[in-house]
Amino acid sequence: MSGLRQALFHEAFAYRPMPPLRTGGPMARLLPKRMRPRAVWAPHAVVLLTAVMAFLLGVAGSDHPIEEMISVVPAVCVAMTLVRPVGAFWMSFLTTPATAILGDQGWPWGASTFFGHLVVLIVVAARTRPRTAAWMWVLTALLGTFMDNLAGHSTSSTVGMAVVSAFALLVVAMVQIRRDAEREVTVQRTVTAVERDRRTLLEERTTIARELHDVVAHHMSVVAIQAEAAPYRVENPPPELEQAFVTIRENAVAALTELRRVLGVVRAEDYQAPEAPQPTLAQLDGLLANVREAGLETEKTVTGAVRELPQGVELSAYRIIQEALSNTLRHAPGATAGVEISYVLGGLGLRIVNGPPTGPVKPSPGAGHGITGMRERVAMLDGAMTAETTAEGGYEITAFIPVQPAEPRDREQDQNREQDGTHASGAGSGSGPVSGRTKLTKDPERTEHTGRAGQAEHA
């Protein structure tokens, strides 16, 4: 009884207007675009048309004015389903005895009232839940049975009403259940897609963190080397200065230890530490040679004064170009690609563009979230990136990574730091992370170092 009270008695006459049809629904998409704005009111027009049909059925079978007036009742009940669906059912239900007694078209439902009550059941069932449809059918059957037993008519429309309404309500319930299931599947797919995007984003950030670990560890190792070598550059340094450099070196070594722990947190189970340093733009020619061997014709263009950039910037630029070319190989077979690198005063500009595919595109087994990783790398460096299709049918990726211009004093300090590392290798006492095996080498592209402090960055 609680279900009956909730379905048919709770706010039975509340104002619940029928919403318009969605323009993106399956039925609306079958119509021309100029007719879709008006097609949203099609269900309302159908309900009003059935109300008119119920009235005409009553007028056609009436013999005197009273029956014509009774024909208005089922029409009003049908029209009422547009604004107060449950109230329309109760109005049709409660007026059935009166129309049966005053009219002479059938017992307990004549042609007009039979059609009107059936339409009311269908519309209300479509606007509510299947449980409400079941309770309406039960009450309708009980009402017809009670009136048949009370009046004792030889002919009755109760069985016809019960059978026809049961079939109609069953069809409506099946459509509703299927529609709810499709809506639930759509919601689950949306949630799954959001979770997949979130997981992919976290994986990309973890990958970036692992790669930047080597970059940060390199700088911390250089700090440790400089701190140990600094006292040898000053003749008879005061004890306070020596202790300060010892503290700096100890803090740098402690930071390297914490970096190793952080890497252990973000490391995947199958992760293997790279044996080679993280790539920079100096290794870009090797990458382009590899993709050419894979069948992708690539052309590189460099504008501006080529200079050494922060290692994190060069690593991100290399990875962006690598992922863009990989996407071209997967999604545009037979196309040509161009890589443009612009060294400007405020940063580094990248443009990777490919033409339309000339061969069949095979389904890619990857997740297809390479763009997400590119955006994360650019956002990490406070840059900007766009990815869009070209007018010719290809794809274009542009990115700008801001870089602070290096001051002349900063360049001189960098050279002094490198000299400090060289002095430390010759003046080491055999203890500490940099003694005995410390070595600094410098080439035109990048600076590398080995030794125990350098090994910490790959631990």
Task: Output the 3-class SS for the chain.
Answer: CHHHHHHHHCCCCCCCCCCCCCCCCCCHHHCCHHHHHHHCCHHHHHHHHHHHHHHHHHHHCCCCHHHHHHCHHHHHHHHHCCCCHHHHHHHHHHHHHHHHHHCCCCCCCCHHHHHHHHHHHHHHHHHCCHHHHHHHHHHHHHHHHHHHHHHCCCCCCHHHHHHHHHHHHHHHHHHHHHHHHHHHHHHHHHHHHHHHHHHHHHHHHHHHHHHHHHHHHHHHHHHHHHHHHHHHHCCCCCHHHHHHHHHHHHHHHHHHHHHHHHHHHHCCCCCCCCCCCCCCHHHHHHHHHHHHHCCCEEEEEEECCCCCCCHHHHHHHHHHHHHHHHHHHHHCCCCEEEEEEEEECCEEEEEEEECCCCCCCCCCCCCCCHHHHHHHHHHHCCCEEEEEECCCCCEEEEEEEECCCCCHHHHHHHHHHHHHHHHHHHHCCCCCCCCCCCEEEECCCCEEEECHHHHHHHC
pLDDT reading at 83 higher than 60: yes
pLDDT at 439 over 50: no
Averaged pLDDT for residues 402-429: 51
Is the predicted pLDDT of residue 245 greater than 90, yes or no? no
Highest mean pLDDT among 108-112, 119-123, 279-283: 119-123
Model pLDDT, residue 16: 93
- Mean pLDDT for 66-83 is 92
Q: Is the pLDDT of residue 275 over 80?
A: no
Mean pLDDT over residues 119-136, rounded?
94
Task: Report whether pLDDT(140) > 50.
Answer: yes
Residue 350 pLDDT > 90, yes or no? yes
pLDDT score, position 441: 34
- Tell me: pLDDT of 423 over 60: no
Mean pLDDT computed over 3-30: 80
In this predicted structure, the answer to whether residue 435 has a pLDDT above a threshold of 50 is: no
pLDDT, average across residues 363-367: 55
- Look up residue 316 and give its amino acid: S
The whole-model pTM stands at 0.55
pLDDT score at 119: 96
Model confidence at 363, in pLDDT bands (50, 70, 90)? low
Per-residue pLDDT at 369: 65
pLDDT average, residue stretch 329-357? 92
pLDDT at residue number 432 = 37
DSSP lists the bridge partners of residue 342 as: 303, 349
Give the pLDDT confidence score for residue 80 in this predicted structure: 96
Please state, rounded to an integer, the average pLDDT across all residues of the chain: 80
Residues 407-418 have a mean pLDDT of 50
Q: Which of 120-134, 170-184, 202-216, 366-380 has the lowest mean pLDDT?
A: 202-216
Q: How confident is the model at residue 113 (pLDDT cuts 50, 70, 90)?
A: very high
Mean pLDDT of all residues in 108-122:
94
- Please state, for a pLDDT cut of 90, what percent of the chain lies above it: 39
Q: What percent of the chain has pLDDT over 70?
A: 80
Q: Is the pLDDT of residue 427 over 50?
A: no
Q: If you average pLDDT over residues 76-89, what whole number do you get?
A: 95
Q: Region 224-229: what's the mean pLDDT?
A: 82
Q: Is the pLDDT of residue 85 over 80?
A: yes
Which of 317, 291, 289, 306 lies closest to 383 in space, CA to CA? 317
- Amino acid code (one letter) for 24: G
Q: In this predicted structure, what is the pLDDT of residue 447? A: 35
At 378 the pLDDT is 92
Model confidence at 442, in pLDDT bands (50, 70, 90)? very low
Give residue 372's pLDDT.
Answer: 84
| pLDDT value of position 165 | 96
pLDDT band at residue 279, thresholds of 50, 70 and 90?
Answer: confident
